[in-house]
């Protein structure tokens, strides 16, 4: 399989699976260390929280790729043909603007946080790394929304029927 195809189709999925497995291992290690060894790892709770934040943001892009977001489709289902495509493209355009805003505003925010030198309390890592998930997710969302618009414009049915 081509590396470009793998990155296009599996990037978010691999990140999400690896992150979830890491959180599970981290929580198990925390429970064992706290209740068996009687030596709690306080930093593990903070790290789990930060990874979960990244999972939430990356999941948005993954759901766009799989066309799995919850939506109200009563109006769309009443339309057919070009009106339906037009409505879908308008929705994607609004969503693209929001994703672009997240990417731009998120980047400005992490640059501001980076200047302040703020670090996390337990881990001591720079907080801009934690917040970096927002602009990355915004960029990934823009890419996936563009791909969905391309699918609609090409008239392929996988976007409409899923």
User: Tokens in use for 59?
Assistant: 């999941």
Q: What is the DSSP letter of 119?
A: B
Judge whether 113 and 125 are in contact, CB under 8 Å: no
Judge whether 99 and 141 are in contact, CB under 8 Å: yes
pLDDT digits (tens, 9 = 90+) for 114-129: 999 999 988 999 999 9
pLDDT digits (tens, 9 = 90+) for 69-95: 877 777 777 777 788 888 889 999 999
| Confidence at 55, pLDDT banded by 50, 70, 90 | very high
pLDDT at 160: 44
Judge whether 48 and 27 are in contact, CB under 8 Å: yes
Cβ-based burial of 36 (10 A; exposed 0-12, middle 13-18, buried ≥19): exposed
Distance, in Å, from the CA atom of 72 to the CA atom of 142, rounded to the nearest integer, reads: 21
Residue 88's CB is within 10 A of a number of other CB atoms, namely 19
pLDDT digits (tens, 9 = 90+) for 134-151: 999 999 999 999 999 999
Apex 113 CA angle, 112 and 118, nearest 5: 145
For residue 131, what are the domain limits? 3-161
Number of domains in the chain: 1
Give the CA dihedral 68, 71, 77, 78, nearest 10 degrees. Answer: -160
Measure Cα distances from 111 to 71, 126, 128, 132 in Å: 34, 11, 7, 10
Is pTM beyond 0.75? Reply is yes
Cβ-based burial of 70 (10 A; exposed 0-12, middle 13-18, buried ≥19): exposed
pLDDT at 10: 83
pLDDT digits (tens, 9 = 90+) for 29-53: 999 988 888 888 888 889 999 999 9
């Amino acid at each position: 399989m081509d590396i470009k195809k793998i990155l296009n189709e599996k990037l978010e999925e691999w990140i999400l699976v690896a992150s979830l497995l890491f959180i599970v291992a981290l929580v198990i290690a925390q429970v064992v260390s706290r209740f068996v060894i009687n030596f709690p790892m306080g930093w593990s709770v903070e790290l789990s929280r930060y990874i979960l934040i990244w999972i939430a943001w990356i999941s948005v892009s993954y759901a766009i790729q799989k066309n799995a977001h919850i939506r109200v489709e009563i109006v769309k289902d009443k339309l057919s043909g070009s009106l339906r495509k037009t409505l879908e493209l308008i929705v994607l355009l609004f969503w693209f603007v929001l994703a672009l805003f997240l990417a731009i505003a998120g980047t400005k925010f992490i640059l501001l946080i980076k200047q302040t030198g703020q670090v996390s309390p337990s881990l001591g890592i720079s907080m801009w790394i934690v917040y970096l998930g927002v602009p990355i997710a915004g960029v990934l969302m823009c890419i996936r929304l563009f791909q969905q618009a391309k699918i609609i414009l090409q008239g392929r049915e996988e976007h409409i029927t899923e």
